[in-house]
Structure 1
Amino acid sequence: MELRHLEYFLTLSKELHFTKAAEKLGITQPTLSHQIKMLEKEIGYALFNRVGKKVELTRVGEIVQQEALNIQDSLQSMSSQITALSKIEIGEIKIAVLPGEITDLVSTLCIQFNQLYPNIKVIIETTDQVEKAVLQQNADFGIDFQLTSNDLLQVTKLYDEEFYLISNKENEQPNISFSTALESPLILFPSVHQCRKLLNKTSTEIGKPLEPIVETSSIQSILNLVRSGVGCSIVSRTLYEFYGTQDLFFQHIDKPSINRAVYLVMKKNCFINYAAREYIKLLVREVEKLNFKTEKEAIDSLHSAVL
């Protein structure tokens, strides 16, 4: 049974006249008669009594009419709900992020997002299993670093970022080797943070221990300790750019350089609601404004597919 058959049936059951119903539907009277006969054949019973030009519903026709009206109402309700999700500035958005600085990035953007859309609730889920949260639809989208190949996910590289050694003193050299940076008194995130995991991995690769003098989960504490001269820190450009660091100085780390990619993760062929699209727009605008190393083709693809 096709939806158009129900549309034809409901129109005829309202008009109770083949010619008038056909005109309203924009089809010929013979076509309408043929479609109604096909529907009756599929159901197995006559839906209309035809006495000359007069048409009336049979008892079975009355049952079909009521159920067809229920289906029509359900379709209209579904359409209305989708319209509300896609256009109206209400509702909520769920974002899955890794523990650490990406949580800080998302939380910082929430301030701007709330000013623009005060009626949209933002829920940030901090998890080591971002992909799983997205696949199980516990999040509208996620932000991740390292990804596994999965045909069910749509993954877009947002940007590549580097790491800086930051201090409260200006340095003559714009760059510093990672090995030399490790000789500074360091204030770092704990080992559970993604940034710290990358630093630990790199220090192991060069065979030099990473021994911070202070560990704290608070980026504000790290920045304040650096300001006071307690030590230096190694932070991602994301954190450096999104916090008030104009009074601090940075050096690019090289030999080896430390870089990582930041990805936007969504489930393929999944409806992206209005709130999620607007948040992603804000995120992309911030990334472009800060001149992060982006792949134009990836961002253009994101714009055409989602934004």
Structure 2
Amino acid sequence: MDTRHIQYFMAVYEHLHFTKAAEALGISQPTLSQQIRVLEAELGMPLFDRIGKQVVATEAGKLLHFHGGRMLLAEQDAKIAIRELRSSARGTVRLGVLPSDLDFQLVPLFIHFHSEYPDIQLQAFSTIQILEEVLSNRVDIGIALRTPPDKRLVQIPLLSEPYHLLVHSGSVLADRPSITLRELEQLPIVMYPRGFLGRDLVEKVCREKGGFQLATVMETSTAISLLQLVRAGVGATIQPVSLLKQESMRRDIVAIPISDHAPMRHLELIYGSERYISEAHRQLTKWLIDFFSK
């Protein structure tokens, strides 16, 4: 049922006169009469009785007046909501981020986003399957490890950074200016479980460049818990130094560069190439690019 037909019907119902209704709509009276006949044929019932020059709404016409008014109101509400969404007044932004970056690095940016867009609901998801989440439209924007070019995606390179050995400030290694990859084999290490992107990236370099596998004394799935284990002296961890970007995270922890064959991570921002991106999405994208470029 075309809402244009509903608008024509509502005008006739209001005026109970085809000529006056046609003038109010800015169309000819024959055109209006034809459109009402089309609507009546679609519904299978007459909407008006024409008694001489008088027009009277039938029971079907009265029912359509009630429901048609609600239909036009719903259409108006939808248009207003979409206009508000286009102007970033409301809506939802879904962001997929690797666990290590979501734990604490991006929280200040989320707070800033809320202050600028208080009516936008920001949903941030921790996931290691960011590419799949973006392609399946379960998230709008993703921060992921760099992948080969994909026509389905807009891919914006972010930072590239080496992994460091993070140790407790009281460790015998704390004063070392650097450490070699092979030395990591002999250290008590705390890491993410296998299957996490960061763990698999480090393991690949250790295997291919050092000829060994990491021997972990403990594994946990969050960056915060890894840093807590380092502070407790349970072991060292191999992570991007950006985990220590916040001053509170640097307390009692020293980052030691790996002098040879340091694992590297290359991050990129991704979203669907055919997705509609609102102003709030674009602004969040800009802030994310700025954040990771610092």
Could you state the TM-score of these two structures normalised by the residue count of structure 1? 0.66
1:35 aligns with 2:41: no
Q: 2: distance between equivalents of 1:98 and 1:147? A: 14
Q: 2: distance between equivalents of 1:5 and 1:91? A: 31
- Counterpart code for 1:189: M
1:283 counterpart residue number: 288
Say what the alpha-carbon RMSD is for the aligned residues: 4.6
2:18 counterpart residue number: 18
* 3-state SS of paired residue (1:75): helix
Q: 2: distance between equivalents of 1:147 and 1:132? A: 12
1:261 counterpart residue number: 267
* 3-state SS of paired residue (2:192): coil
1:208 counterpart residue number: 211
> Is the contact between residue 177 and residue 255 of structure 1 (CA under 8 Å) also seen in structure 2?
no
> Is the contact between residue 95 and residue 141 of structure 1 (CA under 8 Å) also seen in structure 2?
yes
Check 1:196–1:257 CA distance in 2 against 1; reply closer, same or farther (3 A cut): closer
Q: 2: distance between equivalents of 1:212 and 1:36? A: 79
1:235 aligns with 2:239: yes
Check 1:177–1:225 CA distance in 2 against 1; reply closer, same or farther (3 A cut): closer
1:55 Cα deviation after fit: 2.5
Could you state the TM-score of these two structures normalised by the residue count of structure 2? 0.68
Q: 2: distance between equivalents of 1:160 and 1:284? A: 9
Q: Unaligned stretches of 5+ in structure 2?
A: 167-173
- Counterpart code for 1:259: R
1:59 Cα deviation after fit: 2.6
1:73 counterpart residue number: 73
Q: Unaligned stretches of 5+ in structure 1?
A: 291-307
> Is the contact between residue 180 and residue 260 of structure 2 (CA under 8 Å) also seen in structure 1?
yes
Q: 1: distance between equivalents of 2:75 and 2:259? A: 58
Number of residue pairs the alignment of both structures matches: 281
- Counterpart code for 2:162: F
Judge which range, 11-20 or 160-169, deviates more. Answer: 160-169
* 3-state SS of paired residue (2:105): helix
> Is the contact between residue 190 and residue 229 of structure 2 (CA under 8 Å) also seen in structure 1?
no
Q: Please list the CA deviations of residues 3-30 of structure 1 after superposition, one character each: whole Å capped at 9, or x if unmatched.
A: 2111111122112222332232222333
1:303 counterpart residue number: none
- Counterpart code for 1:26: G
Q: Please list the CA deviations of residues 201-253 of structure 1 after superposition, one character each: whole Å capped at 9, or x if unmatched.
A: 11111243254687565458649958x9999754325435x323599666476
Percent identity at matched positions? 28
- Counterpart code for 1:45: M
> Is the contact between residue 163 and residue 234 of structure 1 (CA under 8 Å) also seen in structure 2?
no
1:105 Cα deviation after fit: 3.4
Judge which range, 191-200 or 204-213, deviates more. Answer: 204-213
* 3-state SS of paired residue (2:73): helix
Equivalences for 1:103-114 in 2 at 5 Å?
103-114=103-114
